[in-house]
Amino acid sequence: MARRVSARAIKALRQYTYDEAARVLGVSVQTVRSWRKIGLVVIDDQKPHLIVGACLRAFILKRSNKPTLRLRAHEFNCLHCGTARGAWGGLADYIPHTSARGRLEALCEVCEGKCCKFVSKSQLLGLAGFLSVAIRNGAHA
Ligand SMILES: [Zn+2]
């Protein structure tokens, strides 16, 4: 799940390594690395790679200003495309987490990246007309 991150602690004129940026923002190093793939500018012609504070701050502000995506029942928030997408082939897998809720997984119809969202069992029934859902075995199936 995307968590709101505050850019306030970032100093515009400082340069940060992935580790430093992660520590200041309270996110994992993996998260900071993944931001690079979705537009964070990184100085990568040297080791360690550095992120200019101003760029990091701009990136975070741009992300947090994005309105929350309102998904229709059969849509997923594709993190690769950065928007709502349908499921590839109208197919999805439901992996129960508890007796009432589970994770719905599908591939993005545009980029074929993996998308998932949490749904309740009752929401799952409402999807029958839009998606062909395979129920996979989970601990509470
Ligand atoms: Zn996509």
Are 71 and 131 within 8 A, CB to CB? Answer: no
- Distance, CA 43 to ligand 1 centroid (Å)? 26
Identify whether residues 88 and 129 lie together within a single domain. Answer: yes
Domain range enclosing 36: 15-65
The per-residue pLDDT for range 90-134, each reduced to its tens digit, is: 999 999 989 899 999 999 999 999 999 989 988 898 888 889 999
Report in angstroms the alpha-carbon separations of 7 from 25, 34, 67, 130. Answer: 7, 17, 17, 39
- Distance, CA 16 to ligand 1 centroid (Å)? 29
Report in angstroms the alpha-carbon separations of 5 from 10, 26, 61, 84. Answer: 11, 8, 9, 21
Average pLDDT, the chain: 89
Q: Note whether residue 71 is domain-resident.
A: no
DSSP label of 19: H
Identify whether residues 59 and 81 lie together within a single domain. Answer: no
- Burial grade of 84 (CB within 10 A; 0-12, 13-18, 19 or more): middle
Identify whether residues 58 and 100 lie together within a single domain. Answer: no
Q: Is the pTM of this model over 0.75?
A: no
Q: Note whether residue 10 is domain-resident.
A: no
How many domains, the chain? 2
**pLDDT score, position 51:** 96
Q: Note whether residue 91 is domain-resident.
A: yes
**pLDDT score, position 141:** 42
Identify whether residues 89 and 131 lie together within a single domain. Answer: yes
**Greater confidence, 87 or 67?**
87
Q: Note whether residue 5 is domain-resident.
A: no
- Distance, CA 113 to ligand 1 centroid (Å)? 5
Q: Note whether residue 123 is domain-resident.
A: yes
- Using CA atoms, how far apart are residues 57 and 44, in angstroms rounded to an integer? 18
**pLDDT score, position 14:** 96
Q: Note whether residue 70 is domain-resident.
A: no
Identify whether residues 81 and 59 lie together within a single domain. Answer: no
Q: Note whether residue 86 is domain-resident.
A: yes
- Distance, CA 106 to ligand 1 centroid (Å)? 10
Are 106 and 120 within 8 A, CB to CB? Answer: no
The per-residue pLDDT for range 33-79, each reduced to its tens digit, is: 999 988 899 999 999 999 999 999 999 988 877 677 788 888 998 98
Identify whether residues 53 and 86 lie together within a single domain. Answer: no
- Using CA atoms, how far apart are residues 8 and 46, in angstroms rounded to an integer? 27
